[in-house]
Amino acid sequence: MDNRYIDAHMHVMPSGKFIDNPSNPPIPDAPEDVIAAMNAHDIEIGVIVPMRTQDNEFILQCQKRYPQRFVGCAMVHPYDENAVFQFQKLVRRGLCGLKLHPITQQFSDKNFKKLSPLIKEAGKLGVHVQIHCTPIMGYSTLEGVLRLAYEHPETNIILLHAALHRYLDLFPLSRAIHSGYLCNLYVDMSGTITAFHNSPIWKSFRWVMRQIGPEHLVFGSDFPAADISKTIEGIHALGFSSEEEKLIMRQNMVKILEEVYE
C-alpha cells in the first residue's frame, strides 16, 4: 500500500512567483518548484487550489502535464449568473473539486442562496469543495461553512485553515460527528498549525484537533504560503498513533478524491 502523503492544499501560479503581498519576496511556485518540494517531503499528490478564477486554465494544464502528481480544483465566483454551468464545464474537463475564497473573491459565505446551488452541484458531480475559513472582515465566517456542510451532507467540504483563531468553536464538531451530523466536513490545519505550534495556545489547539479526531482532519500545507516541514512537524505533535496519522496524511483524501483513485 502506498503510504506517501497527499497534500490537500497547495498552490501553483502561472507567474512562477507566489506573491501575496508586493512587499514580500517572491517564492518559487512554478509547477516544477512545487513538485520538487513534494519530492522532498514524500508527497505523492498535491491538490492544487486556485487563488484566482483566471487560473483555471493554467491548473488544467498543470494537471495534464503532471497527472501523477497534481489534482486540480476549479474556482468560480458564486455570484456569477453562470457559476454552476462554468463549474460543471471545468469538472467535465478534468478538475476534481471547487475552491471558494470568501475574502479574495469578496462574497459572504452566509449567502446560502448563491452558494447552495454550487455546493449541491459538487455533490452531484462527486467532487469536493474547499472553503477558505479565517473569520475576519465579515466575508469569511465559521458559521457559514458549518451551515453549508450541514445543509449539503452529500458534498464533502474541507474547511481550510481550521478557522484560525476561532479553532475553539470547532469543538462542537466532534459531538456533531459522533451524533451523525457534519460527517461530510473535514478540517485542513494549514497555516494555523504552523502559527500555533510551540505557542502558548498549542495545548488548547492540539486538544480541539484531537477531539475532532483523525477521521476528519486532513494534511494541507498551503505551500508556498506556508512551510511543508513545519506543517508535518505540527501534525506529528498532535500525538496521534501512526495508524491515525495515515488517515490525516493520506487516507481521508483518498476517500475524498475517490473518483481520482477509482
Query: Which residues contact Zn ion (rule: CB under 5 A)?
Result: 222
Tell me the residue type at 230. K
Nearer CB in complex with Zn ion: 10/177: 10
Cβ proximity to Zn ion: between 131 and 177 the closer is 131
Q: How far is the CB of 175 from Zn ion (least distance, A)?
A: 28
Residues 6 or more apart from 240 whose CB is under 8 A from it? 210, 214, 248
CB closer to Zn ion out of 14 and 213: 14
Burial of 81 (0-12, 13-18, 19+ CB in 10 A): exposed
Q: Rounded to the nearest whole angstrom, what is the least distance from the CB of residue 178 to Zn ion in the complex?
A: 29
Cell numbers standing for residue 40: 522532498
Q: How far is the CB of 192 from Zn ion (least distance, A)?
A: 12
Q: Smaller CB distance to Zn ion: residue 183 or 225?
A: 225
Closest residue to bound Zn ion by CB: 222
Give the nearest distance from C-beta 11 to Zn ion in angstroms. Answer: 6
> CB–CB of 209/161 below 8 Å?
no
Distance CA 60, CA 48 (A): 10
Nearer to Zn ion, 177 or 248 (CB): 248
**Cβ of residue 9: shortest distance to Zn ion, in angstroms?**
6
Instruction: Count CB atoms within 10 A of the CB of residue 106.
Output: 11
Burial profile 203-230: b = 16 or more Cβ within 10 angstroms, e = fewer: eebbebbeebbbebbbbbbbbbbbbbee
